[in-house]
Structure 1
Amino acid sequence: MKIGVVTFPGSLDDVDARRAARLAGHEAVALWHGDHDLGGVDAVILPGGFSYGDYLRCGAIARFAPVMQEVVDAARGGMPVLGICNGFQILCESHLLPGALIRNDHRKFGCLDQRLVIENNRTSWTSAYADGQEVTIVLKNGEGSFVADEKTLDMLEAEGRVVARYVGNPNGSQRAIAGITNEAGNVVGLMPHPEHAVEDLCGPGTDGLGFFTSLGAVGLLSA
């Protein structure tokens, strides 16, 4: 598959995301925040970093980038979209996913190898995992605490839209939620960084590679 990785001013992990996509056997191409089309890609990754310097709110300016209108339209049409860390924040700001990401409850930036449980393997980005599989990938954030009102949280739980949950709770996320999906299963937001766990040489191992090898496999929520 041809995967486009968007670079915003302040993105940090766009190169890492493209590398992860290539290691998973895909063609990876760079998209720019000012682009007005997606260049025929089959999927999009919004990478981690500090888009537009995180002014106003994390992801609040990036949602208005020209490329995001194309991403939103494509996502609503069924294209797989993965938002990692800042990308997750952008997906929430763009209303492709509910909830918000706020300052960690300990008020510090955290960077650690974090254990997760995969709770939904029926999305475009998680079908390579077993339901309930425990993985370890990198977590690095200052505003990674997922919050939503109780009605939304109950809805996410009832519809099986919690994609991954922290083992422990490193940042105060409500119900230890690390990632969620939209109703169709093609849009996933994940606070930890799977692109930093795709080879044994660097990072905590290869547990993150499944987020990229999942693309193209059958297993959408709508199936």
Structure 2
Amino acid sequence: MKAGVVVFPGSNCDHDCYYALNSILGINTEYIWHKEGSVKGFDLLVLPGGFSYGDYLRCGAIAKHSPVVDAVVDFAEKGGHVLGICNGFQVLTESGLLPGALIRNKNLKFICEYVSVIVENAKTGFTSYYNDGEILNIPIAHMDGNYYIDEKGLNDLLENEQVVFRYCDADGGISEEDNPNGSVYNIAGVINKKGNIMGMMPHPERCCEPLLGGNHGYYLFESIKNFLKGA
């Protein structure tokens, strides 16, 4: 198995993702520069967090025009697995690979803290090492993490079980008070209908080992590793 971490100008979580995949999970991992026009030979692509192109215009709006994104879109449309984290999630929505959009946080402030999220769908290739209803303690760090989708789009997500993670309290209760950024339906992560593209605002790569204060994120990478290896 081979993973690629896409690097845009302004990415700042690329090394974190590389470390999680390569050093902790033991996955052969390489960086992919934004000017690359091919992603041939990779089994998994990760679009990391950061501030691609300085977040000018909108988060991810310029990054979607990078040569590598055309290759990512082609890879995904042919069934390749793609994970977008934070800014990577924003790039995936901007490029049309995932529905919805990420807009400014409801409090208009940058948020950097640990939050609780509940696993809504543990049947995906990215979440099989979790259980439905499991509560994760996982960090967020974003200014534009407010997930928006219209009513019809939300109904489609729910009907197809595409909502993967939701913000909650420590006991799994879901309310506006436990929604850090104002996301519709407390959504923290979604997946496409085919199940090969997932985006999430929380940072699993930042909680992959006890040394970092917890390892709830480890099981996301272990899930996709074993799914792609056919284990």
What band does the TM-score fall into relative to the shorter chain?
over 0.9
Find the aligned partners of 1:80 and 1:149 in 2 and give their Cα distance: 26
CA contact 1:122–1:185 (8 Å) conserved in 2: no
Matches for 1:60-75 after TM superposition, within 5 Å? 60-75=61-76
| Equivalent residue number for residue 170 of structure 1 | 180
CA separation in 1, counterparts of 2:195 and 2:123?
Answer: 7
- Which of 189, 193, 198 pairs up with 1:183? 193
SS at match of 1:15: helix
Secondary structure of 2:224's aligned partner: coil
Counterpart position of 1:121: 122
TM-superposition CA deviations, 1:148-192 (whole Å, max 9, x none): 110001110111000100012000001000000000111000001
Report how far residue 28 of structure 1 moved: 1.2
- RMSD of Structure 2 on Structure 1 (CA): 1.2
Deviation at 1:217, TM superposition (A): 3.6
Q: In structure 2, what is the equivalent of residue 209 of structure 1?
A: 218
- Where has structure 1 moved over 3 Å in runs of 4 or more? 216-219
Hey, what's the Cα distance between the residues in 2 that align with 1:2 and 1:123?
A: 20
Match for 2:215: what amino acid? T
Q: Which residue of structure 1 aligns with residue 175 of structure 2?
A: none
Matched, 1:2 2:2: yes
Alpha-carbon distance in 2 for matches of 1:2, 1:218? 13
Q: Which runs of 5+ in 2 are unaligned?
A: 169-177
Aligned pair 1:194/2:204, yes or no?
A: yes
Contact kept, 8 Å, 1:4 with 1:29, in 2: the verdict is yes
Partner of 2:59: 58
Moved more, 120-129 or 30-39: 120-129
The match for 2:32 is 31
What is the CA–CA distance in structure 1 between the aligned matches of 2:40 and 2:20, rounded to whole Å?
Answer: 20
- The residue aligned with 2:142 is 141
Question: Counterparts of 1:143 and 1:159 in 2: how far apart (Å)?
Answer: 25
Aligned residue number for residue 154 of structure 1: 155
SS in 2 for 1:112: strand
CA distance in 2, matches of 1:140, 1:26: 25
Quote the sequence identity (%): 49
Give the deviation of 1:138 after TM superposition. Answer: 0.7
The residue type equivalent to 2:111 in the other structure is G
Task: Indicate conservation of the 8 Å contact 1:127/1:217, yes or no.
Answer: no
Q: Which amino acid aligns with 1:206?
A: N
The letter of the residue matching 2:182 is: G
The equivalent residue for 1:16 is 16
Match of 1:132 in 2: 133
Structure 2 length as normaliser, TM-score? Answer: 0.92
Task: For residue 89 of structure 2, give the secondary structure of its aligned residue in structure 1.
Answer: helix
Who is 2:83 aligned against? 82
The verdict on how the C-alpha distance between 1:218 and 1:4 changes in structure 2, with shifts beyond 3 A counting, is: closer
